[in-house]
Amino acid sequence: MSEQTLDGALTDYLAVRRSLGFKLTRDGLLLRQFVAFCEQTGANRITSEVALAWVTSPAKASPSWLNMRLSMVRGFACWLQASHPSTEVPPRGWLPPVRRTTPYLYSEADIVALMAAAQRARWPLSAATYETLVGLLAVTGLRIGEAIRLDRADVSLVDGLLTIRESKFGKTRQVPIHPSTVENLRSYLRRRSTLSPAPSEPALFVHPAGNRINYEAVQGMFRSLVQRIGLTPRSERCRPTIHGLRHTFAVNTLVGWYRDGVDVQARLPVLSTWLGHADPKWTYWYLSATPELLTLAAQRLEDSLGRLP
C-alpha cells in the first residue's frame, strides 16, 4: 500500500466513524501523526513492528496514554485489514493493562464546603459561576465538558429540563432537574445578568469578561477550591478531581436504589441514559466503585438465593 493510499484510507476511516457520531478530534490528529510516522520509516502498510515503534515513541508517557495510542492504531488497522489483508493488527498484549483510577467520592459536607469556598472567589461573577457549577455537577452527574457547553437556551426553567447537545458520540439528551436546582439556576442567571449585563456569548456559565468558561480555567479553579478546604488524595490512584462529582452522583444514586429495595438491574439502563453512556456496560462499572455498594449488591444476591427452593 502506498503512502497516499494509507493516508487516503485514514481519511475514509475517519469519515465512516464520524458518520456514526464519533467526533474523533484527538484520534484524528494522532492517527495523522501515525500515518506520517509510517511515511518517515518507509512503511507502505501497517505492521506490528511499526505500530509498536510509534505507540512507544513518546518519552516518559503514562501507561494509560500508551494504551490509548495502541487502541487507536488497532481500531484503524482492524478496519483496514478487511480491504487490505496484508495489514497487521498489533496485539493488545504488548503493554501492561491499565488499572482504572479509583474514584474520589465526595461527602455532602465536602460538596457544601467546595461551594462555600467558591463563594470566596476574587471576582463576584466567578464566585457565582463556580458555586453554581459545582452544585449542578453534584446533583446531575453531568460531564464537565457538557456543563461548560451549556447555553442559556439549553436551560428550560419552566419545564425543569437541561438539554445536553452533541455530547459524546454526537448524542443529545435531556436531563430533568429538581425544583431546588431550577431555583438555584434562576438565582444564578439573575446574578449573572447584574454582573455581566451583555455577555459576548450565549453560554450559561461565563467568566467576569462575559465569555464562556473553559476547561483549563475550571480545572485550575477546582484545584484551588480543593486546596482551600483541605481535601487530600486518599491514595496514589484516588485523588480529588472534578470528575469525582460525576462518580459521586452515580454511586449515590445506586446506593439509594439498593436501600429503597428497587430492582437495580432494571433501573441501570435509566441511569445509563441519564449519564449519557453509549453502552450500559460503562454504568455497571459503578457497581464496584465502593465497598458500600459491593456490600449492598452482595446482600441483595444473598437474599435472592435465600428465596430459592
- The predicted structure's pLDDT at residue 32: 95
Residue 132 confidence (pLDDT)? 97
The gap from C-alpha 168 to its chain's centroid, in whole angstroms, comes to 8
The one-letter amino acid at 106: Y
Q: Which residues are CB-neighbours of 213 under 8 A, at least 6 positions away?
A: 129, 133, 148, 203, 205, 206, 207
pLDDT value, residue 136? 97
Q: What is the pLDDT of residue 1?
A: 53
- Cα angle: 199, vertex 204, 205; to 5 degrees: 85
CB 122 within 8 A of CB 114: no
Beta strands in the chain, from DSSP E residues, in sequence order: 155-156, 161-164, 173-176
Query: Can you count the helices (H) and strands (E) in the chain?
Result: 13, 3
- pLDDT for res 165: 86
Q: What does the pLDDT read at residue 23?
A: 80
Own/partner contacts of 172-181, CB < 8 Å, gap of 24 or more, are: 173/273, 173/274, 173/276, 175/140, 175/142, 175/274, 177/139, 177/140, 178/139, 181/135, 181/136, 181/139, 181/140
Residue 219, number of CB atoms within 10 A of its CB: 13
pLDDT value at residue 292: 59
State which residues of the chain have pLDDT below 50. 2-4, 305, 308-309
C-alpha grid cell for residue 292? Answer: 458500600
Question: Which of the residues are catalytic?
Answer: 143, 168, 243, 246, 277, 286
* 105 burial level (CB within 10 Å; 0-12, 13-18, 19+): buried
C-alpha to C-alpha distance for 34 and 45, rounded to whole angstroms: 11
67: number of Cβ within 10 Å: 18
